[in-house]
Chain A
Amino acid sequence: MTVAASGGLVLHRLKKIEIVIHAEDRSLVEDLLAAAKVGGWTMIRDVAGLGHGGFHQGKTIFNDRSGLVMFVGVAEEQAIAEVARGLARLFETRAGVTFLSDVEVMRSDYFAKVA
C-alpha cells in the first residue's frame, strides 16, 4: 500500500470498486465481497439511471428488491482485483456495471481485511 502525504495529511492509496446491479442480485455481490475478504462496503439503494435497458426507475416504497443498488467498496488492490474477477463471472449472466478507480483514504485501518 502506497502512503502519500499532502499538506501534512497522511493519505493511503487504495482501490475503489463501484458496482451497480439489480437490487434482487444484491446478495450475489455481498457474497463476492465477503469471499474476497473486503472488510466493509457501502450500499446505496434506489439508484436511478439510463442504461442499455432504458431508464431504470429508482424509488419504490414497498419493495427493497426492485430497482438498482450501488455498492462502493475500498480495499487493497489485490482484494479489489479478486472482486472484479468474480464480477466478470456474474456479468456473464446478470446485468450490471462496475467501475474501478484509485482512491486515497485517511484511515487505512478502516479498510483492512476481515480475519
Chain B
Amino acid sequence: MNMLSPMTAVDPILSRTEVAGLVALAARTVPPLWPLESAIAVNPLAGFEELPFHEAVAAAASRFGARQALPLAQWRALLKAGRVDEAALRRAAITRLGGLETAFANAGPDLTRVDLLMARLMHLPEPQVEAHTTQPSPAAAFLAKWCTAFFDQGQAASPMPDRELGLYRAVLALAPHDPDFRNLAGKAGRQLMLAVPRDPLEAIAEGLVAAEVEAGAEEAYLARFVAQLPGWAGHIRWRTENADPEYAAGAPATMADLLALWMLLDRAGAVPPPAQAAAAPDAGADLAAHFGLADVPWSKAFREVSAIEPAVLGHIFMEAAEINVRDAISAHLQKATLSPPQAARPDAQVVFCIDVRSEPFRRALEAQGNFATLGYAGFFGLPIALHRHGAARRNRMLPVLLAPQYDVTEAPAPGREAEARAWADAQARARRAAGLFGSAKQGAATAFATAEATGPFAGLAMAARTVAPRLARRIAAAFAPPRPEALAPQLHGEKPVFTLEEKAGYAAAMIRLTGLPLPTARLVVLAGHGGCAVNNPYAAALDCGACGGHAGGTNARILAAILNEGQVRATLLEQGLAIAEDSVFIAAEHNTTTDEMTLFDRASVPASHAQDLARLEAALAKAGQANRERRAQLLGRTADDLLTGAAHWGEVRPEWGLSGNAAFIVGERWLTEDLDLDGRAFLHSYDWRQDEDGSALTTILTAPMVVAQWINCQYLFSTLDNERYGSGDKTTQNVVGGIGVVQGNGGDLKVGLPRQSLFHDDGTPFHVPQRLITFVHAPIARVEAVVAANDILGRLFGKGWVHLVVIDPETGKARQWRRDDELAAN
C-alpha cells in the first residue's frame, strides 16, 4: 500500500525512451557551451535555426527573456558614427514596406509610408517594453548553486561528495540538508525528495504527469527549464556531446539529470509560471505629434506604420548595415573579376587562417614586396588532438564540427633535448608551487599564515605586473626557454602518426581547397594564429576557432613538415600537383594581439634560403608594425601600448578580436587585394577553375563558412542583448569551477562574449550586429548545385541566417540568393 500523499504518487504515461527523446530535443534549446580553456564561438540561437531568422529571434527572445534587437538609441549612434548609411536605411525601410509602390503610397497629408517609417527609425522615441528581469528565479539560483558544486574542476577546496552518483542523485542525497531547499520547496519538497524515482528519466515522466502537461506539449515544457539555465545546460551538452569521456568520469551528468531536478522543484510548486511578454505601446501618438497630425484622422497606412513593433525597427537598421557591406564588396568584386592579373611567381606565399584578423595583416604584408597571401582554415585540415608535454588532458586542435582522428604528442625538438628538460622541470616546479600555495591558501589552519608569509612577495609581483608588465613578462620568460623551440609535435616515433597516403591527402586538400598557385614559391609559410592576454578568462576566445580555441602554430608546423617530405611531394606529383623543387615550407604563428609573427623550426630552413627568409622576416616585422598602428587607432591607443596591454594583468580589452565581422569571401586573392576590408571579412582562397565537380566549394561552404556563421551569430547576439546572450561586464565576472564565468558571486554560467569585446567604454557598439554575407566567385550553376545537395546550406541561405551573393566569373554579374520567403512570395 502506498503511504504517500496523492501528490507524490503518479503513474507515468511515457516510457523511458520517449522521455529520452523529449529530453534530447528540449536540450537543443541551448547550444553546447565550451569551457574557458577551449572557448569557441557558437550561435546561442543554434536551436532555433530551423526557423526563418526573424521568427527565430522572436522565439528565442520569448524563451530566454531576451531583447530582439539592439535599442534604437544604439543604432542611431552607429548611424551618426557613419557605421550605417542613411540611404541604405531608407532602402531597407522601403523593402520592409513591400517595395516602392507601397512605400510611396500616400499615408497622410504630403506623407508617404516611408516618411513615417523613417521618422520612427531616425527621430521618434523608442516605445518602451517592460524589460525582462535578468535575475534568476530562486529555483534557478538553487540549481545553479548545486551545478557549480557538482561540475567543479578542482577549484573548490572541498569537492562535493557523491558525485559518482550523477548530478540528479547526488543533489537528491544532499539537498535535504540544504536550508535553501527547505525554504524553496517546503514540506511538499521534502515528501517528494523521498518518493521520486532515482532514475532521472522516470522522474521526468512522473513529473510531466503530475504537471498535467498535455500530449504534444512535453518538449516545450521541458525546453522552458533548459532555457532558464542556458549556461549550465550548455555545459552539460558540451560534456556529453563534445568532451573526451574521461573529462566526466567520476561525475556523470546528463540533461535528464538537470531536468529531473527542475521537475522536482516544479512538482513542489517552487517554480514560478513563465512571465508573459508585454506588448509594445502603439507609436501613433508620437508619430502624429511629430508630423503635426494631432487633429487629422489616422489613415490605414498611418496605423500600419505606427503599429510596427520596435524590434522590427532594429531589424531594418540591421538590414541597412548588411546592404552597406553587400553593395560595397559586390561592386568591387564585379569590377575586379573582369580584369584578372597576369600570374607571376611570388618571392613567398603565405597561407593565413581565414580569420577576419588575418585580412589587414595580409594587406600590410603584400604592401612590403612580391608576397602572395592565401586564406585556409587555420587547423590546416588536420583532424588532430595534441597531447602537450606535461598536460593532463589532450587538446582538440580542430573545429568542433569534427572529431579527432589522430593523436599527436609533443616531444623534445631534435637537438633541443636539454632545453626541453629544463622547460619541463620549470613547468613541474611551477605546478607544484601553485598546488602547494592553493592548498595552503584554502586550508582552514593555514590560510592566514599563508597570507602573511607570501603577502609581501605577492605585493611586489603585483606591483611589477602593474607598473612594468612587459618587464615582468621578460623576467618570467628568462627562467624557461620558449616552449616552441624546445618542443615539437612528434610525427615519426615508433608508430608514425600518418601514413604516406594520409600525409599526401592532407597536403593535396590544402592545395585543392585554396587553389594554391603552382609551382609554389621558394618559401611557403603556413601561418596559424593565437591571441595573447594575461589574467583573462576569455583568452582562448582570442585564439583560433578552427583549432578548437587554441593557437594554431602546431597544426601549421605539422603540415609544413609534411609538405617538406620528399615522398609526399612525389606522391603529389603523381596527382598532378607539382610543388617546386626549390620550395621550402615553414610554419609560423601570427599573434593577433601584438601583430608579431613567430617562425617555427627556422633551423630546418636550408642555407640556400637564408636570404629569402631574412627578406620575409623583415617584411613580416614591417607588416606587423603597420597593422599594429592600424589596430591601435581602432582601440584609441598607441601601437606601443598594445604590446603593454598583451602583458598587463588589468587589461580588459587586449584586442577587438573578431568584432566587426560581416563577410565571408570565397575566391582568389586578386579579387580583393585592392579593397580595404577593414578586418571585417573572412577570406577563403578558392579557384573555381580547379574545382569542376564543386567538391572543394562544398567543403568550404559546409565547414569553414559554418564556423564563420557561428562566430558571426555569437558576435551578433552578444551585442544585441549582452546580458542574455553575452556575458556582461568583465570587471564584475568571477571564474567558477575552472570552466566558465558568472556575474557577481553566483548564478548561471554566462554564455557569449563580454561587453568589453563588443562595446566602447562609453557604451556605444564597436561591433555592428549584422548577419554574415557570403560572396562566392564561381559559376552560378555550380553554386546552386552545391547548395541544393547540402541541407545545411539550404537552411542557412534559405531561412536568412546568412546572405549569399554569387559573382559569376565569366560575366562579372552578381546574383543574390533568394530566401525561401522571398521565393514563396512570387
Name the segment of A1-9, A69-77, A81-89, A103-111 touching the other chain: A81-89
List A contacts of B22 (CB < 8 A).
89
B13-26 to A contact mask, C-beta < 8 Å, 1/0 = 00111111111110
CB of A36 closer than 8 Å to a CB of B? yes
> In the bound complex, what is the Cα–Cα distance between A5 and B631 (angstroms)?
77
Name the segment of B107-115, B265-273, B733-741, B786-794 touching the other chain: B786-794
By the criterion CB–CB under 8 Å, are B401 and A85 in contact? no
Cβ-Cβ contact count across A and B, 8 Å cutoff: 95
List B contacts of A53 (CB < 8 A).
791
By the criterion CB–CB under 8 Å, are A82 and B17 in contact? yes
CB of A113 closer than 8 Å to a CB of B? no
Q: How far in angstroms is the closest Cβ of chain B from A99? A: 17
Q: How far in angstroms is the closest Cβ of chain B from A8? A: 38
Q: How far in angstroms is the closest Cβ of chain A from B541? A: 21
> In the bound complex, what is the Cα–Cα distance between A73 and B452 (angstroms)?
63
By the criterion CB–CB under 8 Å, are A54 and B401 in contact? no
> In the bound complex, what is the Cα–Cα distance between A55 and B402 (angstroms)?
23
Within the complex, which residue of B16, B699, B789 is in contact with A82, where a contact is CB–CB below 8 Å?
A: B16
List B contacts of A101 (CB < 8 A).
none
Interface centre among B21, B201, B790 (most CB of A within 10 A): B21
Within the complex, which residue of A22, A31, A64, A94 is in contact with B23, where a contact is CB–CB below 8 Å?
A: A31
> In the bound complex, what is the Cα–Cα distance between A31 and B28 (angstroms)?
13
By the criterion CB–CB under 8 Å, are B792 and A66 in contact? yes
A54-66 to B contact mask, C-beta < 8 Å, 1/0 = 1111001111111
The interface size of chain A toward B, counting residues with CB under 8 Å, comes to 31
Q: Which residue of A lies closest to B789 (CB)?
A: A57
List A contacts of B16 (CB < 8 A).
35-36, 82
Known: A31-B24, A60-B702. A66 touches B791 (CB 8 A): yes
List A contacts of B401 (CB < 8 A).
62-66
CB of A90 closer than 8 Å to a CB of B? yes
By the criterion CB–CB under 8 Å, are B698 and A27 in contact? no
The majority secondary structure among interface residues of chain B is helix
Q: Which residue of B lies closest to A61 (CB)?
A: B699
By the criterion CB–CB under 8 Å, are A32 and B17 in contact? yes
Within the complex, which residue of A62, A83, A87 is in contact with B704, where a contact is CB–CB below 8 Å?
A: A62
A1-38 to B contact mask, C-beta < 8 Å, 1/0 = 00000000000000000000010100110011011100
By the criterion CB–CB under 8 Å, are A60 and B791 in contact? no
CB of A42 closer than 8 Å to a CB of B? no
> In the bound complex, what is the Cα–Cα distance between A63 and B793 (angstroms)?
13
Known: A62-B704, A64-B401, A64-B403. A31 touches B20 (CB 8 A): yes
Q: Which residue of B lies closest to A55 (CB)?
A: B789
Known: A22-B791, A64-B402, A89-B22. A35 touches B201 (CB 8 A): yes
By the criterion CB–CB under 8 Å, are B18 and A86 in contact? yes
Q: How far in angstroms is the closest Cβ of chain A from B806? A: 19
Known: A62-B702, A63-B402. A85 touches B789 (CB 8 A): no
List B contacts of A60 (CB < 8 A).
698-699, 702-703, 790
> In the bound complex, what is the Cα–Cα distance between A12 and B163 (angstroms)?
40
List A contacts of B399 (CB < 8 A).
62-63
The majority secondary structure among interface residues of chain A is mixed
> In the bound complex, what is the Cα–Cα distance between A37 and B706 (angstroms)?
34
Known: A31-B20, A32-B17. A63 touches B25 (CB 8 A): no
> In the bound complex, what is the Cα–Cα distance between A74 and B296 (angstroms)?
75
List B contacts of A93 (CB < 8 A).
25, 219
Within the complex, which residue of B381, B703, B789 is in contact with A63, where a contact is CB–CB below 8 Å?
A: B703
Q: Which of B164-189 contact A (CB under 8 A)?
A: none
By the criterion CB–CB under 8 Å, are B20 and A57 in contact? no
Q: Which residue of A lies closest to B694 (CB)?
A: A57
By the criterion CB–CB under 8 Å, are B381 and A89 in contact? no
Known: A35-B17, A36-B16, A62-B377. A56 touches B702 (CB 8 A): no
Q: How far in angstroms is the closest Cβ of chain B from A96? A: 12
Q: Which residue of A lies closest to B505 (CB)?
A: A61
Q: How far in angstroms is the closest Cβ of chain A from B298? A: 43
List A contacts of B509 (CB < 8 A).
61
> In the bound complex, what is the Cα–Cα distance between A54 and B788 (angstroms)?
8
By the criterion CB–CB under 8 Å, are B21 and A86 in contact? yes
List B contacts of A28 (CB < 8 A).
21, 24-25
By the criterion CB–CB under 8 Å, are A86 and B17 in contact? yes
> In the bound complex, what is the Cα–Cα distance between A115 and B512 (angstroms)?
49
By the criterion CB–CB under 8 Å, are A89 and B402 in contact? no
Q: Which residue of B lies closest to A38 (CB)?
A: B17
List A contacts of B254 (CB < 8 A).
31
Known: A60-B703, A62-B702. A85 touches B241 (CB 8 A): no
Q: Which of B215-231 contact A (CB under 8 A)?
A: 219
List B contacts of A63 (CB < 8 A).
399, 401-402, 699, 702-703, 706, 792
Q: How far in angstroms is the closest Cβ of chain A from B703? A: 3
By the criterion CB–CB under 8 Å, are B21 and A89 in contact? yes
List A contacts of B790 (CB < 8 A).
57, 60, 66-67
By the criterion CB–CB under 8 Å, are A56 and B791 in contact? yes
Interface centre among A22, A35, A53 (most CB of B within 10 A): A35
Q: Which residue of B lies closest to A82 (CB)?
A: B17
> In the bound complex, what is the Cα–Cα distance between A82 and B21 (angstroms)?
11
List A contacts of B20 (CB < 8 A).
31-32, 34-36, 86
By the criterion CB–CB under 8 Å, are B703 and A27 in contact? no
Interface centre among A24, A36, A67, A86 (most CB of B within 10 A): A86
CB of B571 closer than 8 Å to a CB of A? no
> In the bound complex, what is the Cα–Cα distance between A28 and B17 (angstroms)?
11
By the criterion CB–CB under 8 Å, are B25 and A27 in contact? no
CB of B536 closer than 8 Å to a CB of A? no
By the criterion CB–CB under 8 Å, are B702 and A66 in contact? yes
> In the bound complex, what is the Cα–Cα distance between A82 and B18 (angstroms)?
8
List B contacts of A65 (CB < 8 A).
401
By the criterion CB–CB under 8 Å, are B21 and A31 in contact? yes
Sample of 7 further A-B pairs with CB below 8 A, known A35-B201, A67-B790, A89-B25: A27-B240, A36-B16, A55-B789, A60-B698, A66-B706, A90-B24, A93-B219
Q: List 9 A-B contacts (CB under 8 A).
A: A27-B240, A53-B791, A57-B789, A60-B703, A63-B702, A66-B702, A67-B790, A85-B15, A87-B21
What 7 pairs across the A-B complex have the smallest Cβ distances?
A86-B17, A62-B703, A35-B20, A57-B789, A86-B21, A63-B703, A28-B24
